[in-house]
Structure 1
Amino acid sequence: MAASVDSFDSVDSFGTGRLPAAPPGPVPWVAMYHSVGDCSDDPYRITVTPERLEGQLAWLRRRGLRGVSVADLLAARARGDGRRLVGLTFDDGYADFVTHALPLLRRWDCGATLFVLPGRLGGDNAWDPLGPRKPLLTASGIRYVAAEGVEIGSHGLTHIDLTRADDLALKTEVAESRERLAELTGARVDGFCYPYGTVDARAVRAVREAGYAYACAIDPGPLTGPHALPRVHIGQNDTAWRLRLKYRLHRLRRRPVEGV
């Protein structure tokens, strides 16, 4: 029943229509990052240092892989030429993305998707009861990142668990956040990321009905498809051998699906 909510229809990365039907293929490898900076106080393991991120990007490039935005990854796969691409995503929209992550992405010729919270512009990670307060990007910061070629996606308005939201809150978090970001950046917003990675059939339906072309989760199980893409958490402890293991395990464990 869950799989019927999002029947894995093939939608192009710009949300303009369906792509030609393709046989099921392996789910793309999408890396999940959050903050880039000091990780000495990091109870949720959401931070990597700039030095670690650079090592991870270098690892990708040495293997002939290139990090790109999720929109670019899905568009390339639809054309049949995305085999050497991996998705790079950064959740929450931390201000340190501009100071630490963006210069490294440029250096290693990588793209990325940044999922932000338009209801918390210039605020901090107040949803995390433990750990340090981390500042979030302002409206001007998000516009700057978008102008630098980074895909901007929605992480909802305020970072709530959508599986526990009532109908009005769910629609507001999903649909209104897309509208606000489109107005803020002047560009179409096609990607969504479920806060906390939690997802159910109702949340998937709301995201799809709001007009998003794709959405990222963490491990959505039978809901896996264009509106519930699994991702691999990448943290400070992920050195070269751990990255290699995660990459191989992902290719072995993820079942083939249509549309991605």
Structure 2
Amino acid sequence: MAVTVDTGRSPSRTSAPWVAMYHSVADCADDPYRITVTPERLDGQLAWLRRRGLTGVGMAELLAARNRGRAQGLVGLTFDDGYADFVDAALPVLRRHGCNATLFVLPGRLGGDNAWDPLGPRKPLLTADGIRHAAAEGVEIGSHGLTHVDLTRADDRVLAAELGESRALLTELTGAPVAGFCYPYGTVDRRVVDAVAVAGYDYACAIDPGPLTGPLALPRVHIGQRDTAVRLYLKLRLHGLRRRPVGGPR
């Protein structure tokens, strides 16, 4: 059975796009949260998509194409947290397969590590120069907040800073407007979605936002080291059965 994604015709623009959620691309021998894929696995996954006529793109490009009715064969690729290995390990693989992606970063932790993961291992995050390098290579840069906190538990002051200050810092760092946001941990509620709108983002990525699904709470599919061809096929095929309708981009 053929896999079709985002045909670009009107019915498809009312359903959520298929968006892959990646994190780190490195050795995954010590990976308690299953957030890491090896470069070889990423290479195989992108090759699988390309053999089926699918191209991975960043979120702004994907949503703009959907809005024009020209998203046939496009899927979203996102990388959360801004790990330093993105530039050295992920980007060359993306380029080899003619793909692009959105990189969601934490401007409050530039050059730091994933201190929010208590089980480790510690993974270095991109510096300002690393983010600029990715942006110069055409990668869309989005905000993941300032410091990776659960926004549904943040007070109004912290919430405003995580959304607004992170966007301002990234705009200054890259010299380009920041359209997208990604919810840390994927946690989201109506208050946080409303705050994202007030902060001026065009879209935001979650994981499984349920009834909040929409342009400011887009669902994504976790992709990990265990996702070989059969699992990728199932994740593509079952996507339309799991996801609620979503309106067009703001």
TM-score by length of 2: 0.94
- Per the alignment, residue 250 of structure 1 pairs with 239
Cα distance in 2, alignment partners of residues 200 and 134 from structure 1: 29
Identity of matched residues, %? 77
Cα distance in 1, alignment partners of residues 217 and 206 from structure 2: 6
- Could you tell me which amino acid in structure 2 is paired with residue 150 of structure 1? V
Matched, 1:82 2:71: yes
- Could you tell me which amino acid in structure 1 is paired with residue 131 of structure 2? I
Cα distance in 1, alignment partners of residues 11 and 239 from structure 2: 21
8 Å CA contact 2:206–2:219 kept in 1: the answer is: yes
Match of 1:241 among 213, 230, 242: 230
Q: Does the residue aligned with 1:187 lie in a helix, a strand or coil?
A: coil
Which string of whole-angstrom CA distances, capped at 9 and with x for unpartnered residues, describes residues 147-206 of structure 1? 000000000000000000000000000010000000000000000000000000011011
- Could you tell me which amino acid in structure 2 is paired with residue 115 of structure 1? F
Structure 1 stretches of 4+ moved >4 Å: 21-24
Cα distance in 1, alignment partners of residues 204 and 88 from structure 2: 26
Shift of the alpha carbon at 1:24?
A: 5.9
Shift of the alpha carbon at 1:255?
A: 2.4
Cα distance in 2, alignment partners of residues 173 and 258 from structure 1: 26
- Per the alignment, residue 221 of structure 1 pairs with 210
Match of 1:130 among 94, 100, 119: 119
TM-score by length of 1: 0.90
Cα distance in 2, alignment partners of residues 238 and 196 from structure 1: 20
Cα distance in 2, alignment partners of residues 22 and 48 from structure 1: 33
Match of 2:42 among 53, 56, 65: 53
| C-alpha distance 202-246 of structure 1, shift in aligned 2 (>3 A) | same
Shift of the alpha carbon at 1:23?
A: 8.7
8 Å CA contact 1:66–1:86 kept in 2: the answer is: yes
Between stretches 217-226 and 246-255, larger displacement belongs to: 246-255
- Per the alignment, residue 104 of structure 2 pairs with 115
- Could you tell me which amino acid in structure 2 is paired with residue 251 of structure 1? G
Shift of the alpha carbon at 1:259?
A: 1.5
Shift of the alpha carbon at 1:251?
A: 1.7
Matched, 1:190 2:204: no
Q: Does the residue aligned with 2:142 lie in a helix, a strand or coil?
A: strand
Structure 1 residue runs without a partner (length 5+): 1-20
Match of 2:53 among 61, 64, 72: 64
| C-alpha distance 170-229 of structure 1, shift in aligned 2 (>3 A) | same
- Per the alignment, residue 139 of structure 2 pairs with 150
Structure 2 residue runs without a partner (length 5+): 1-9
Cα distance in 2, alignment partners of residues 230 and 43 from structure 1: 23
Which string of whole-angstrom CA distances, capped at 9 and with x for unpartnered residues, describes residues 61-84 of structure 1? 000000000000000000001021
| C-alpha distance 130-188 of structure 1, shift in aligned 2 (>3 A) | same
- Could you tell me which amino acid in structure 2 is paired with residue 214 of structure 1? Y
| C-alpha distance 83-252 of structure 1, shift in aligned 2 (>3 A) | farther
| C-alpha distance 23-96 of structure 1, shift in aligned 2 (>3 A) | closer
- Per the alignment, residue 73 of structure 1 pairs with 62
Matched, 1:165 2:154: yes
Shift of the alpha carbon at 1:46?
A: 0.3
- Number of aligned residue pairs: give it: 240
Which string of whole-angstrom CA distances, capped at 9 and with x for unpartnered residues, describes residues 6-53 of structure 1? xxxxxxxxxxxxxxx999622100000000001000000000000000
| C-alpha distance 96-67 of structure 1, shift in aligned 2 (>3 A) | same
Cα distance in 2, alignment partners of residues 244 and 24 from structure 1: 21
Cα distance in 2, alignment partners of residues 123 and 24 from structure 1: 39
8 Å CA contact 1:22–1:259 kept in 2: the answer is: no
8 Å CA contact 2:215–2:246 kept in 1: the answer is: no
Q: Does the residue aligned with 1:105 lie in a helix, a strand or coil?
A: helix
8 Å CA contact 1:23–1:258 kept in 2: the answer is: no
